[in-house]
Chain A
Amino acid sequence: MTRPNTFRSGPDERGHFGIFGGRFVAETLMPLILDVERAYSDARADPDFEGDLKTRLKQYVGRPNPLYFAERMTRELGGAKIFFKREELNHTGAHKINNCIGQILLARRMGKKRIIAETGAGQHGVATATVCALFDMPCVIYMGEVDIARQQPNVFRMKLLGAEVRSVTSGARTLKDAMNDALRDWVTNVADTYYLIGTAAGPHPYPMMVRDFQSVIGEEVKAQMQEQEGRLPDSIVACIGGGSNAIGIFHPFLDEPSVKLIGVEAAGHGLDKGPDDHAASIAGGRPGVLHGNRTYLLQDADGQIRDGHSISAGLDYPGVGPEHAWLHDSGRVEYVSATDDETLKAFQYCSRTEGILPALESAHALVEVMRRAPTLSPEHLMVLCLSGRGDKDIFTVAKHLGVSL
């Protein structure tokens, strides 16, 4: 593949990032998807929309959050200088809210009356329920039965916020199935309902729109690193579920060739164990079409989608956003993976050395930081996207450590 002049020009007007992306949806949804696209491009051109978004991110979400120098971890790992981008300090405890604020403002502009969303870890569900409470809109969250069991605190949180949580019992009863049911709701209630997708996947314009709303992460890192260290970072590491926190922190740096970008997929029980034992779609999948876009998918030889597995409910998805698929093929971003066991160790390590409980999702990225940092010089500036806080995961971690709460 020839190297493009810029990595930031995608998608094209049909939603393609190279061969990936697109609009693979049922006809019932197509007019609506086109409406969302039109409304989004109008909104982006409207200074009032931008102003409103900025104010709410500042006053309600608490942005900018810090770029924190993890001094003790840096000293202990003995190499690169490690920084955490503290998305876990946002209101609701993860990066998901950045996108939810943006999309709910759009839904209101479109005159929509009802919000639906899918959730895996529950972080996107909580963030969606939160903005729906804020704007007094009815909210239905689709969540797999398995995820409901392993993310109880978030389920209760969503209910407290006034959302209805619908348990999804089809398929593997995790994130992919929740997305199927959300799409089924959407085709049924097209007229008044807005589907607030939680990651940089789905049909165009969602991957682009979610990326744009999450790019505030990378923009802040750029300014903060400049202020704190007087230059760009040397590497940035983020976990990949659908890929929204990662594309958000990567995108402003795509055309800065000196900045190494590393995405970390969930290797579950191990990549060598088979397609139902991990959720690393780039490392272990091949291109296919699901949920509105062409991307890397975990699938069998007959094109049936595999269920995938990760200890982390937020990474347990057999696909990945189409822009990541393209960034992989074009070689701009390096994609690696971390297993459940490595992640559990990183989770505990971070808790003890920095006094921060990371989300299990973010702990995957930390695994890669712990692998790389010791091999690098102290001048190397490495940023970890600490996408969320780990309070929601303490039951899962306790269970794996054999502790009963």
Chain B
Amino acid sequence: MSAERIARRFARLKAEGRAGLVAFITAGDPDHETSRAILEGLPEAGADVIELGMPFTDPMADGPAIQAAGLRALKAGATTVHTLDLVRALRARDDETPVVLMGYYNPIHSYGVDRFLTDAKAAGVDGLIVVDLPPEEDEELCLPALKAGVNFIRLATPTTDDKRLPTVLRNTSGFVYYVSVTGITGAASAGDAEIAIAVERLKRHTDLPVAVGFGIKTPEQAAAVARTADAAVVGSAIVNRVAAGLDGDGLPKPDLVEDVLGFVRDLAAGVRGARG
């Protein structure tokens, strides 16, 4: 059960005639054990694909919610090794749900690209989204990742025009992540009509599944996206539920994990019911 988890998952979604839910959490937020409990609960709660954020001190493309999640994780001792441990823990129970690591290049650069790819693949990682690696820097990580059998998922944005899209899509694999707004994570979402037009545009350029994210906060919004895209990505809203589950000392309250997973269940219900 290896590299093609992403392709298999999207094939199954297609067969079921529905879009998927991509759920984002930050690895190690608010601490390793709690994060592991959330992660292990995500498939059952209805996450079709898991995006696991790799904490970084300087997340330039993230808004306050994901910035804070990363800092909580780092404060609790999160490292790249721990992030891969989390993936391994999940894989011990679930060998089907794709896991995509999302983050910034420096921690990977520091770990060493080859060593990182070997370890990530061995841990059960299926793909990478690295925000600060545009196609112009493909030699850094994208090409080595593809060679190692790890998907490299690219972000396309409203500023990626038709002329540039082929460049962005060229070495993309797994799926394409459409960032529906120009902005940082957690910002206001784009309108449904705009998203539909954008998805259609991407579909003219690629056969890969298109996931849409940035600004999706409620099951209703997720459902709206799920009517046009192949998957809806929810990040900040989930991470905000983690923040809301902390007590005054920043420690997890007893119902944190259940509350977060409950919210993911609601999102999944929205996505699953979207085309029905």
The reply to whether chain A is a binding partner of chain B is yes
A171 contacts the other chain (CB 8 A): yes
Cα–Cα, bound, A26→B131 (Å):
5
Residue A188 contacts which of B55, B79, B184 (CB distance < 8 angstroms)?
A: B184
Contact status A31-B110, CB under 8 Å: no
The 10 closest A-B pairs by CB, nearest first: A303-B110, A303-B107, A188-B183, A28-B157, A24-B132, A30-B134, A305-B57, A303-B106, A183-B60, A302-B79
Contact status A27-B110, CB under 8 Å: no
Interface core residue of A23, A28, A289 (most chain B CB under 10 Å): A28
A211-254 interface code vs B (CB 8 A; 1 in, 0 out): 00000000000000000000000000000000000000000000
B232 contacts the other chain (CB 8 A): no
Chain B residue at smallest Cβ distance from A169: B64
A53-86 interface code vs B (CB 8 A; 1 in, 0 out): 0000000000000000000000000000000000
8 CB-based A-B contacts, threshold 8 Å: A30-B159, A31-B161, A32-B159, A289-B109, A292-B132, A303-B107, A304-B55, A305-B58
A10-39 interface code vs B (CB 8 A; 1 in, 0 out): 000010000000111111111110000000
Residues of B within 8 A of A187 (CB): 60-61, 182-184
B156 contacts the other chain (CB 8 A): yes
Residues of B within 8 A of A304 (CB): 55-57, 74, 106-107
Residues of A within 8 A of B74 (CB): 304
Q: B177 to chain A: closest CB distance in Å?
A: 10
Residues of B within 8 A of A191 (CB): 182
Residue B109 contacts which of A14, A189, A303 (CB distance < 8 angstroms)?
A: A303
Enumerate B53-76 residues with CB–CB distance to A below 8 Å.
55-61, 63, 67, 74
Known A291-B58, A302-B80, A303-B111; 7 more pairs at CB < 8 Å: A28-B182, A30-B135, A170-B67, A289-B105, A289-B106, A304-B56, A304-B106
A45 contacts the other chain (CB 8 A): no
Residue B108 contacts which of A26, A176, A303 (CB distance < 8 angstroms)?
A: A303
Interface core residue of A177, A189, A289 (most chain B CB under 10 Å): A289
Residues of A within 8 A of B56 (CB): 303-304
Enumerate A281-308 residues with CB–CB distance to B below 8 Å.
287-292, 294, 297, 299, 301-305
Residue A305 contacts which of B67, B106, B135 (CB distance < 8 angstroms)?
A: B106
Residues of A within 8 A of B109 (CB): 287-289, 294, 303
Q: A164 to chain B: closest CB distance in Å?
A: 19
B179 contacts the other chain (CB 8 A): yes
Given contacts A171-B58, A190-B182, A305-B58, contact A28 B159 (CB under 8 A): yes
Cα–Cα, bound, A209→B253 (Å):
52
Q: B158 to chain A: closest CB distance in Å?
A: 8
Residues of B within 8 A of A29 (CB): 159
B93 contacts the other chain (CB 8 A): no
Residues of A within 8 A of B87 (CB): none
Chain A residue at smallest Cβ distance from B167: A30
B143 contacts the other chain (CB 8 A): no
Given contacts A27-B159, A304-B74, contact A184 B184 (CB under 8 A): yes
A296-338 interface code vs B (CB 8 A; 1 in, 0 out): 0101011111000000000000000000000000000000000
- Sorting the interface of chain A by its residue count into under 10, 10 to 19, 20 to 34 or 35 or more gives 35 or more
Interface core residue of A24, A177, A287 (most chain B CB under 10 Å): A24
Interface core residue of A177, A290, A302 (most chain B CB under 10 Å): A302
Cα–Cα, bound, A31→B161 (Å):
9
A348 contacts the other chain (CB 8 A): no
Cα–Cα, bound, A63→B135 (Å):
41
Residues of A within 8 A of B187 (CB): 188
Interface core residue of A30, A32, A190, A288 (most chain B CB under 10 Å): A30
Residues of A within 8 A of B104 (CB): 289
Chain A residue at smallest Cβ distance from B74: A304
A396 contacts the other chain (CB 8 A): no
Contact status B58-A176, CB under 8 Å: yes
B160 contacts the other chain (CB 8 A): yes
Q: B56 to chain A: closest CB distance in Å?
A: 7
A167 contacts the other chain (CB 8 A): no
